[in-house]
Amino acid sequence: MTGFGEIKPHGLVSVSVALGANPALMQRFIRTDGGDVGIQMTRRLALVSVFLVTSVLPIAGIARAADFPFVAGDTFTVSLQVETQSSSGGGSSGSSHDVWALTERVVALRDAGVELEFDLTADVSADDRRIGWQFPARIFQPTHGPAELLNWNEAEPRLRAWLGEQYPAICGHWFFTWTAQKIDCDAQSVIQSLAPYVQPSGLAAGQLYSEPGASGSVPLEADAAGHALIARMNVDPEVVRWQRAGRDVAVAEITHRTVAFDDALRARSSDRISGTVTVTFELDGQGRITRRRRVAAVEVASSDGSIEREQTTETTEWAPASHASHG
């Protein structure tokens, strides 16, 4: 694509933001389907349909301040790996493997929640840091309710500096280079982006747990060894349908067509959608969550008889980088 100045393939990508990942940190994308650009683009956007649902609701699983397994000054390296496998009735298939990382610093513990700061890792280049205008992002995550972005007023000047004279005309538009991208200029979008990076606490076997994109709540189950908590749920078909309609609108814009969202949603109304979402929290010896693994398997049967299947595995790991004094 041309006409976007310094906007790079791994620039401010709302697909990545919606996926809960920082676009400046995309390390690699493996494509195996060998199809044309339109097919590749659709496959890549299909990841949004399954995975976007992980971050459209408030961050969950935050305990009372007294129960937090860390103190102010603690820092963590948080890695997020996303793998997807897809296939369709025509015999074609595709896969992708993306890896991102952020640093997390505990700024303060309050009775009502915790203040956290997320930033790009130290090895990120100056150019990529400029593209990652959302960071550093400082949030307050209450024990109940949605997270709040505290330094939103610092983000907009960084965005303007990156986009230059193209701001705000380019905001909200999709384009395609080596992957589908949307220029998202809303500083508040980083809240959704950070959802998979916030370390849950205060979870226990038997506690009701709900997951964005899944239907209802289920009790958390402990594994036989007591080293993990597991939630097994069915996907919410309407959430997936809504996301697939959004994907169709994006593909239309990229291919210079116009499709209204309501029309796209109506076209998806006859899709038969089923699938499962399984979330596993791995615990250390002190009962702290060190790894979160989310597997979403979705099958969509269209009215023309075609069947699409996709499985997305999202793994988040929290590794201590430094500890403040707990004395």
Instruction: Give CA–CA dist 49/246, Å, rounded.
Output: 8
Mean pLDDT, to the nearest integer, of 131-155? 91
Q: 31, 237 in Cβ contact below 8 A?
A: no
pLDDT at 13: 32
pLDDT of 6 over the 70 cut: no
| Residue 313, domain member (yes or no) | yes
Q: Give start and end residues of each alpha helix (H) in the chain.
A: 14-18, 37-51, 126-131, 152-163, 189-194, 237-254, 261-267
Mean pLDDT, to the nearest integer, of 176-192? 81
pLDDT at 173: 87
Structural domain count of the chain: 1
| Residue 9, domain member (yes or no) | no
pLDDT at 167: 87
Instruction: Give CA–CA dist 101/6, Å, rounded.
Output: 23
| Residue 97, domain member (yes or no) | yes
Share of the chain above pLDDT 70, in %: 77
List of residues 6+ apart from 312 with CB closer than 8 A: 47, 50, 51, 82, 83, 84, 295, 296
- pLDDT band at residue 263 using 50, 70 and 90 as cut-offs: very high
Structural domain containing residue 52: 14-322
CATH number of the domain residue 294 falls in? 2.30.230
| Residue 224, domain member (yes or no) | yes
The C-alpha R_g of the chain, in whole angstroms, comes to 20
| Residue 281, domain member (yes or no) | yes
List of residues 6+ apart from 24 with CB closer than 8 A: 10, 11, 120, 124, 128, 129, 131, 132
Instruction: Give CA–CA dist 185/74, Å, rounded.
Output: 31
Give the global pTM: 0.77
pLDDT at 324: 67
Q: What is the DSSP string of 227-243?
A: SEEEEEEEB-HHHHHHH
pLDDT of 45 over the 90 cut: no
Distances (CA, A) of 155 to 16, 79, 137, 145, 189: 17, 23, 8, 23, 11
| C-alpha torsion angle, residues 229, 231, 232, 233 (rounded to 10) | -170
Distances (CA, A) of 8 to 86, 172, 268: 26, 16, 32
pLDDT at 138: 96
| Residue 180, domain member (yes or no) | yes
pLDDT at 189: 87
Q: 132, 25 in Cβ contact below 8 A?
A: yes
| Residue 6, domain member (yes or no) | no
Instruction: Give CA–CA dist 249/158, Å, rounded.
Output: 29
pLDDT at 127: 87
Tell me the pLDDT tens digit for each residue of 222-254: 999 989 999 999 999 999 999 999 999 999 998
Tell me the pLDDT tens digit for each residue of 148-176: 999 999 998 999 998 889 888 889 888 77
pLDDT at 274: 97
pLDDT of 5 over the 70 cut: no
pLDDT at 64: 46
DSSP 8-state code for residue 175: E
Is the model more confident about 52 or about 194?
Answer: 194
pLDDT of 32 over the 80 cut: no
Burial of 147 (0-12, 13-18, 19+ CB in 10 A): buried
| Residue 106, domain member (yes or no) | yes
DSSP 8-state code for residue 180: E
Mean pLDDT, to the nearest integer, of 15-31? 31
pLDDT of 270 over the 90 cut: yes
